[in-house]
Structure 1
Amino acid sequence: MLHKLGLIFFFLHVALFAEARNRLAPKKFETLPLGSVRPAGWLYDQLQVQTDGLAGHMHEFYDLVSKSDWIGGDSYYSYLEEAGSYWFNAMVPNGILVNNSVINEKAQEFLDYVLDHQDETGWLGPEVGTDKPRFLWGRYPFFFGAIQMVEYDPSQTDRVVSAFHKFVKIANEMLRKGEGVDKWAATRWEDFVLVLQWLHDYHPRGQEELLVDTMVRLKWTGVPWEKVFSEEYFPTGPVENLTNPFGMELSWHGVNMAEGLKALPATYRFTHNQSDLDAANLSWDLMFKYHGRPSGAYAADEMLAGLEAVRGTELCLVVEAMFSGSYLYQVIGDLKYADRVERMTYNALPATLTADMWGRQYLQQQNQIAAKNMTPNPFPEDGPYSNVFGLEPNYPCCTVNFPQGWPKFITSAFLKTIDDRSLVHLYLGPFSTTATLKDDNAVKVTVETLYPFGDTLKTTITAEKDFNYFVRIPSWVVEGTIAIGDGPKKKLAPDQETGLHKVDVKKGVTMLTLELPAEITIEKRLHGSVAVHRGPLNYAFDIGRTEQIIKTDPRESHAVDWQYDPAENWEYAIDPSSLVYHHDSDISVSGILPSPIFDSGMPPTSITASACLINWPLAGDTFASSPPENPECVGPETVITLWPFGATKLRISEFPVVSFGEVVLEDTPYLQFPLQSL
Structure 2
Amino acid sequence: MLIIANLDTVLPLVLQPLPLGSISAEGWLYDQLQLMSDGLAGHEHDFYLFVSNSSWLGGSSEYSNLNEGFPYWFNGLVPLAYTMGDERLKSQVLDSVNYVLSHQQADGWLGPETNVSTRNLWGRFPFFLGLTQLVEAENGSDVATRVLDAMHKFVELMNSMLENNFLGYVASDTSQIDDQWGRSRCADMILSLQWLYEHDPRNNTDILFNSMNLLFEKSNNWADWYVDGVYIKEDLDTVSAEITNAHYAFEHGVNIGQGYKFGAVTRRFNGDDRLGDSSRTAVNWTLTYHGQPSGVMIADERLSGLSPVRGVELCAVVESIYSLNYLYQALGDASFADNAEMAAYNALPVMLTPNWWAHQYVAQTNQPIAHTFDLSPFYNVDTEGQHFGLAPNYPCCTVNHPQGYPKYISNSYVRYGDNGIAHALLGPTSVKTTTNSGVVVNISVDTHYPFVYELTYTVEASDDFDFYVRVPTWATGSSFFSINGGTHQDMLAESSTSMHRFRLEKGHTTVFYSLTGDIRVADRANDTVSIYHGPILYTIAPGENYTSYSSGYPGAPSEALEYDIYPTSEWALAIDPSTLRYNAPSRGASLPNPIWTLNAPPGSISAIVCEINWSLTKGYAPNPPLLADRKCIGDPIQVDLVPYGSAKLHVAEIPTIKLS
Calculate the TM-score normalised by the size of structure 1.
0.92
- One-letter amino acid of the counterpart of residue 102, structure 2: D
2:196 counterpart of 1:210: no
CA contact (8 A) 1:366 1:654 kept: yes
CA distance in 1, matches of 2:437, 2:585: 45
2:592 maps to what in 1? 594
CA distance in 1, matches of 2:637, 2:38: 40
1:538 maps to what in 2? 537
Q: How many residues align?
A: 641
CA distance in 2, matches of 1:132, 1:375: 42
The match for 1:618 among 609, 616, 619 is 616
CA contact (8 A) 1:26 1:418 kept: no
2:145 maps to what in 1? 158
- One-letter amino acid of the counterpart of residue 619, structure 2: D
2:603 counterpart of 1:605: yes
* Counterpart mapping for 1:625-636 below 5 A: 625-630=623-628, 631-636=630-635
CA contact (8 A) 1:350 1:647 kept: yes
CA distance in 1, matches of 2:508, 2:102: 47
CA contact (8 A) 1:368 1:650 kept: yes
The match for 2:85 among 99, 115, 119 is 99
1:667 maps to what in 2? none
1:473 maps to what in 2? 471
Measured against aligned partners, the alpha-carbon deviations of 1:323-364 in whole angstroms (never above 9, x if no partner) come to: 000111111000100000000000000000001111000000
1:628 Cα offset (Å)? 3.2
1:506 Cα offset (Å)? 0.7
CA contact (8 A) 1:541 1:653 kept: yes
CA distance in 1, matches of 2:499, 2:214: 36
CA distance in 2, matches of 1:85, 1:256: 16
* Counterpart mapping for 1:386-397 below 5 A: 386-397=385-396
Greater shift in the superposed pair: 204-213 or 27-36:
204-213
- One-letter amino acid of the counterpart of residue 477, structure 1: A
2:217 counterpart of 1:232: no
CA contact (8 A) 1:469 1:505 kept: yes
2:263 counterpart of 1:264: yes
2:550 counterpart of 1:563: no
2:174 maps to what in 1? none
CA distance in 1, matches of 2:377, 2:63: 27
CA contact (8 A) 2:162 2:168 kept: yes
Pair 1:68–1:217, CA change in 2 (3 A): closer
- 3-state DSSP of counterpart to 2:399: helix
1:33 Cα offset (Å)? 0.7
- 3-state DSSP of counterpart to 1:589: coil
Measured against aligned partners, the alpha-carbon deviations of 1:205-225 in whole angstroms (never above 9, x if no partner) come to: 132221111111101212011
* Counterpart mapping for 1:246-261 below 5 A: 247-261=246-260
- 3-state DSSP of counterpart to 1:637: strand
1:190 maps to what in 2? 187
CA distance in 1, matches of 2:349, 2:29: 12
Greater shift in the superposed pair: 398-407 or 162-171:
162-171
The match for 1:178 among 163, 166, 172 is 166
- One-letter amino acid of the counterpart of residue 145, structure 2: D
- The runs of 4+ residues in structure 1 deviating greater than 6 Å are none
CA distance in 1, matches of 2:548, 2:438: 56
2:62 maps to what in 1? 75
Measured against aligned partners, the alpha-carbon deviations of 1:218-259 in whole angstroms (never above 9, x if no partner) come to: 012120110112222112133244434783422210001110
1:534 Cα offset (Å)? 0.2
- One-letter amino acid of the counterpart of residue 114, structure 1: V
CA contact (8 A) 1:610 1:640 kept: yes
1:27 maps to what in 2? 13
- One-letter amino acid of the counterpart of residue 407, structure 2: K
CA contact (8 A) 1:616 1:628 kept: no
Identity %: 37
* Counterpart mapping for 1:293-442 below 5 A: 293-419=292-418, 421-442=419-440
- One-letter amino acid of the counterpart of residue 83, structure 2: L
RMSD: 1.7
- One-letter amino acid of the counterpart of residue 153, structure 1: E
CA contact (8 A) 2:452 2:585 kept: no
1:145 maps to what in 2? 130
CA contact (8 A) 1:416 1:422 kept: yes
Structure 1 spans left out of the alignment, 5+ residues:
1-5, 662-678
The match for 1:42 among 12, 28, 40 is 28
2:176 maps to what in 1? none
CA distance in 1, matches of 2:99, 2:236: 42
- 3-state DSSP of counterpart to 2:184: coil
- One-letter amino acid of the counterpart of residue 181, structure 2: W
CA contact (8 A) 1:549 1:563 kept: yes
Greater shift in the superposed pair: 529-538 or 163-172:
163-172
1:459 Cα offset (Å)? 0.6
CA distance in 1, matches of 2:453, 2:253: 33
- 3-state DSSP of counterpart to 2:202: coil
1:380 Cα offset (Å)? 2.0
1:621 Cα offset (Å)? 2.8
Measured against aligned partners, the alpha-carbon deviations of 1:181-215 in whole angstroms (never above 9, x if no partner) come to: 21211111111100000011111113222111111
1:551 Cα offset (Å)? 3.9
1:659 Cα offset (Å)? 2.0
CA contact (8 A) 2:521 2:532 kept: yes
1:136 maps to what in 2? 121
2:106 counterpart of 1:116: no
1:58 Cα offset (Å)? 1.5
- One-letter amino acid of the counterpart of residue 647, structure 2: T
Greater shift in the superposed pair: 200-209 or 598-607:
200-209
CA contact (8 A) 1:627 1:654 kept: no
Greater shift in the superposed pair: 332-341 or 132-141:
132-141
CA distance in 1, matches of 2:246, 2:208: 29
2:175 maps to what in 1? none
CA contact (8 A) 1:49 1:356 kept: yes
CA contact (8 A) 1:302 1:381 kept: yes
Structure 2 spans left out of the alignment, 5+ residues:
170-178
CA contact (8 A) 1:575 1:660 kept: yes
1:432 Cα offset (Å)? 1.4
- One-letter amino acid of the counterpart of residue 559, structure 2: H
CA distance in 1, matches of 2:431, 2:609: 45
Measured against aligned partners, the alpha-carbon deviations of 1:562-619 in whole angstroms (never above 9, x if no partner) come to: 112222211101111111111342xx223x2001000011111111110111112434
CA distance in 1, matches of 2:625, 2:245: 35
- 3-state DSSP of counterpart to 1:511: strand
1:668 maps to what in 2? none
1:649 Cα offset (Å)? 0.7
1:312 Cα offset (Å)? 0.3
CA contact (8 A) 1:124 1:167 kept: yes
- One-letter amino acid of the counterpart of residue 277, structure 1: G
CA contact (8 A) 2:53 2:59 kept: no
Measured against aligned partners, the alpha-carbon deviations of 1:502-558 in whole angstroms (never above 9, x if no partner) come to: 111111111111110110110100001001100000001111233222443342221
1:384 Cα offset (Å)? 1.2
CA distance in 1, matches of 2:627, 2:160: 59
1:165 Cα offset (Å)? 1.3
- 3-state DSSP of counterpart to 1:638: strand
Calculate the TM-score normalised by the size of structure 2.
0.94
- One-letter amino acid of the counterpart of residue 660, structure 1: L
* Counterpart mapping for 1:479-518 below 5 A: 479-518=478-517
CA distance in 1, matches of 2:295, 2:54: 38
- One-letter amino acid of the counterpart of residue 623, structure 1: A
1:673 maps to what in 2? none
Pair 1:29–1:627, CA change in 2 (3 A): farther
- One-letter amino acid of the counterpart of residue 353, structure 1: L
- 3-state DSSP of counterpart to 1:542: coil
CA contact (8 A) 2:627 2:657 kept: no
CA distance in 2, matches of 1:388, 1:427: 30
